[in-house]
Amino acid sequence: MLAVVKSAPVDGPEGTSVSDCPVPKPGPDEVLIRVAAAAVCGTDKHIYHWDPSIRDKVTPPRIYGHEFCGFVEELGSRAQRTYEGHLEIGDYVSAEMHVVCGECPRCRSGNGHICDRTRIYGLHEDGAFAEFVKVPAANVVKLGRYVPLRVGAFLDALGNAVHATSVCDMAGKSVAITGFGPIGAMAAAIAEHSGATTVIVTDVSDHALETARRWAASHNFANLHAFNVRTMAAEEVKREVDAVTDGDGVDIVLEMSGAPSAINLALDIVRMGGMLSLLGLPAGHSVTINDYTRNVIFKGVTMQGIIGRRMYGTWQRMLALLKSGLNVEWIVQAAYDSLNDFHEGVARFDRHEALKVVFFPEGEKAANQRLK
C-alpha cells in the first residue's frame, strides 16, 4: 500500500517519503480500515519539519496521520464491537487516535483524555496517511452518512474545538476567539451554530481575518468582529471589544493561539465572572500573566485547560452537532486525489493558504462512491 512515512530524522522532503508499505494485519482486538480521507494538522507539520518539540515522540520510520475517516475492511477475531455497537465490514467510521491505558485513576474516573500513558497513532504507532490503517476496535467511532468525507477527514481536530466549546453554554452569549487557525475557525462555526449573539475574532493575519469575514457573510452572521492584533495595540482591541459589549467584556474567550500576548488579551477582555477555555500551546511552555490579581482573582474568572477529546462524550456531542446542521466543510480549502501530493499539501498548509488540507488515497470520487 502507498503511505506517507517519516523516514528519517531530518527536516522537509528529505525526511519524508511516499512509499510502498505492507498492509497492516489487524490483531484479534483490532480493525483494519480502508482510508477514505485524511487531513493534515499542526502535529504533522511539526513532524515534517522535525521540530525539537516532537523529536522525543516519534521514532522514524513512522507513517503519519491521526485525522481520517474510512470504511471497515477487516475485523480481528474479537473486534466485532465498538463502544457504541456492532461493527461490520463496510461500515463508515473514524477513530479516536489517542489510545489510553484504561487502568489509571484518570481513565477509571472517566477522564481518559488526560491519561499519562496515552499512545497516539501517527506518532507512537503507524497512522492514517496510507491506504489502510489498523486501530483498536474499542477506539472506532461509527459515522452517519450525514458526515461528508471532507469533514470526516478532520473529526479529531473538530473534536478539539467541540471539547473547547462544550465547557460553557454559548447560547445568547458573546464569544471571543483568539487565533483563527483551523480549530479557531471550527470554534467560530460551533459558536454561531450554538446561538452565540456575537463572535469576536483576533489574529495576526489579514488573510485569516478576511477568511473569518467571508465565512460570516456566507452564513448571514452579521455580528462578527475581526481585529488584527499585529497592527492594533492590546488597549485598542480592548476598547473595540468594550464598544461591542457595552463595556461589560466578553462572556467566553476561546484561546486557540498559544501566544502569551493572546492569553493576556483574553484575560483583559473577558468579563467579570467570565470563562476562558484554553487550547493553544505556548511555544516556550511558559507564560507571564499581566496583573494576575486583577485579571484572574478579582475578576473571578473560570479557566479550563483543554486537551484532546473526552472519550467518548465529545464524539457524541460532535456528531449531534453535525447531524443538526453544523457546517464546517468550508474549512477544507485544498484537497488532493493522491498521497503523492503530500509535500505540496504540507507546503500550502505551511504557507497558511488552506485551513485544512485533505488527501483521498484512492481519489475523492471513488471514496464518495463507497459512501453511497
Q: Which of 16, 43, 82, 211 is catalytic?
A: 43
pLDDT tens readout for residues 40-63: 999 999 999 999 989 999 999 999
Q: What is the mean pLDDT of residues 18-24?
A: 98
Q: What is the mean pLDDT of the chain?
A: 97
CATH homologous superfamily of 2-158+309-371 equals Medium-chain alcohol dehydrogenases, catalytic domain (3.90.180.10)
Encode pLDDT of 97-111 as tens digits: 999 999 999 999 999
Integer CA distances (angstroms), 321 to 56, 81, 146, 160, 327, in order: 36, 24, 11, 14, 9
Residue 46 among the catalytic residues = yes
In the prediction, which pLDDT does 130 show?
99
Choices 2.40.50.140, 3.40.50.1100, 1.10.10.10, 3.40.50.720: CATH for 168-305: 3.40.50.720
Question: Could you read off the pLDDT of 28-38 as tens digits, one per residue?
Answer: 999 999 999 99
Give the domain ranges of the chain: 2-158+309-371, 168-305
pTM value? 0.96
Cβ-based neighbours of 338, under 8 Å, separated by 6 or more: 359, 360, 361, 363
- Kindly report the length of the chain: 372
Section 228-243 average pLDDT: 98
44, three cell numbers: 504533522
Q: Pull the grid cell for residue 148.
A: 461528508
The confidence score (pLDDT) of residue 65 equals 98
Does an H or E element contain 128, and which? none
φ/ψ bin of 262: left (φ > 0), alpha (ψ from -120 to 50), beta (otherwise):
alpha
pLDDT in the model for residue 36: 99
Whether residue 68 contacts residue 128, with contact meaning beta carbons closer than 8 Å, is answered with yes
Question: What percent of the chain clears pLDDT 70, i.e. is strictly above it?
Answer: 100
- Kindly name the residue from 46, 49, 124, 219 that is annotated as catalytic: 46
124 a catalytic residue = no
Mapping DSSP onto H, E and C, the string for 265-311 reads HHHHHEEEEEEEEECCCCCCCCCCCCCHHHHHHCCCCEEEECCCCCC
